């Protein structure tokens, strides 16, 4: 099973584990951490005292919590404001696809509608009936739609925010929930202005006017002016959508951050890098558990190894570089799927002709190991970690290459988006 350690070597291993753990999480920015600082300190506390079983238990509970904790996002606003389109955009579904929220219809429902994320099982977006369709005061409206179940509210409008929506925001704040204002359909506003005043068209000036109109809605109702995010549900690459997602990530609790980040569409390289950082932390925590298994001599480590190896196939799906995602990207960007398959590497990583490339990449990581040692006990566990790291890096680079291809095509076909 593994080498039996003397008391002296056990003490050394404990010290190395503490140093490794502290070093790893110290370099990760607070807004990117997927476990809280309190959890990190508790793990370090147990490791310093040689409480291996307790440290293992804390990491195990943290991983389970990260994987299973529910994320519920409420989306509300007037009928026709673009709520359903916003939900579909976050879930990377077209309106005609199975499971998509229905768009372009008059809202008559008095019920909230749940939409599960296709890749993240515990993330649900709730389409709430517009407050204008439910003739109740704001507080009663929130009780009817079960406000206590949501992590935060997104209030969507395609015009100035109405008094009903502003009153709703006040009630949400009183009930100690976060809310965010989204002004949708700015691409349509820009297109209309360009068609009606082609010579005087000034993209940035029009966007500023839209923002000012929203700001005046708050001032006219004696409200502090919050941040307003201008977005297009049909073009998440542009406008304020990246700023909105950054804000949501920072405001979410650590344990909910991991799955939320992985749920995001690949709209910027920064989002892809965030996914990489989150996934690598998860892998590191899993691998730390294997290290502790070794110290505890717990049977069944091989099963855990097997499980970790199988998880490699999941990365392509989460990073949107699997075959289904490639076909969807090809359809949206009008780039032949064969062309996209030529620029990605991860689908072919384990083919015989590519094993040499993977071996070289692994050798590079082993060289790094001696300068930036993260794992300390078992060479087999080091291999598991660095093979996963090699795979994750390849998938991340594939996602960035696909994003560049998509953006290149977008600029060619929609010059209105180029700055």
The pLDDT value recorded for residue 15 is: 61
CA distance 267 to 284: 26
What are the residue ranges of CATH 3.40.50.300 in the chain?
71-258
User: Model confidence over 131-170: pLDDT tens digits?
Assistant: 777 777 788 888 888 999 999 999 999 988 888 889 889 8
The pLDDT value recorded for residue 94 is: 85
Low-confidence ranges of the chain (pLDDT < 50): 1-9, 370, 416-419
CA distance 353 to 351: 6
Which residues, other chains included, contact 23 with Cβ-Cβ below 8 Å and sequence gap of 6+? 374
Which pTM was predicted?
A: 0.85
Class of the CATH-defined domain 71-258: alpha beta
The pLDDT value recorded for residue 4 is: 32
The pLDDT value recorded for residue 230 is: 96
Q: Are strands 113-116 and 178-183 parallel, antiparallel or unpaired?
A: unpaired
Which residues, other chains included, contact 300 with Cβ-Cβ below 8 Å and sequence gap of 6+? 293
User: Model confidence over 282-303: pLDDT tens digits?
Assistant: 998 988 887 787 766 655 555 5
């Amino acid at each position: 099973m593994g080498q039996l350690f003397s008391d002296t070597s056990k003490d050394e291993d404990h010290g190395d584990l503490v140093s490794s753990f502290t070093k790893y999480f110290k370099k990760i920015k607070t807004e990117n951490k997927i476990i809280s600082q309190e959890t990190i300190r508790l793990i370090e506390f147990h490791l310093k005292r040689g409480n291996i079983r307790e440290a293992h238990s804390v990491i195990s509970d943290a991983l389970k919590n990260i994987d299973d904790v529910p994320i519920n996002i409420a989306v509300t606003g007037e009928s026709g404001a673009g709520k359903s389109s916003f939900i579909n955009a976050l879930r990377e579904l077209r309106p005609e696809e199975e499971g998509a929220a229905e768009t372009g219809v008059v809202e008559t429902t008095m019920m909230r509608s749940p939409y599960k994320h296709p890749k993240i099982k515990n993330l649900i977006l709730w389409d709430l009936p517009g407050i204008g369709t439910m003739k109740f005061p704001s507080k009663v409206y929130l009780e009817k739609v079960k406000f206590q179940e949501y992590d935060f509210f997104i209030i969507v409008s395609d015009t100035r925010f109405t008094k009903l929506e502003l009153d709703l925001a006040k009630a949400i704040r009183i009930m100690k929930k976060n809310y965010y204002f989204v002004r949708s359909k700015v691409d349509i506003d820009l297109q209309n202005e360009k068609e009606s005043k082609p010579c005087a068209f000034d993209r940035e000036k029009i966007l500023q006017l839209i923002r000012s109109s929203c700001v005046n809605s708050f001032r006219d109702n004696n409200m502090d002016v919050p941040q307003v995010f201008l977005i297009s549900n049909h073009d998440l690459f542009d406008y304020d959508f990246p700023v909105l997602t950054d804000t949501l990530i920072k405001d979410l609790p650590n344990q909910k951050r991991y799955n939320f980040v992985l749920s995001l569409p690949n709209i910027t390289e920064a989002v892809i890098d965030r996914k990489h950082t989150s996934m690598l932390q998860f892998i590191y925590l899993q691998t730390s558990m294997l290290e502790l298994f070794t110290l505890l001599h717990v049977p069944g480590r091989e099963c855990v190894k097997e499980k970790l190896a199988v998880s490699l196939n999941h990365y392509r799906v989460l990073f949107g570089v699997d075959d289904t995602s490639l076909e969807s990207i090809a359809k949206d960007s009008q780039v032949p799927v064969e062309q996209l398959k030529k620029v990605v590497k991860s689908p072919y990583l384990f083919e015989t002709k590519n094993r040499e490339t993977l071996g070289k990449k692994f050798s590079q990581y082993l060289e790094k190991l001696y300068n930036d040692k993260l794992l300390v006990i078992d060479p087999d566990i080091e291999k598991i970690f660095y093979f996963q790291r090699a795979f994750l890096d390849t998938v991340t680079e594939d996602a960035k290459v696909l994003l560049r291809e998509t953006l290149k095509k977008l600029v060619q076909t929609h010059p209105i988006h180029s700055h």
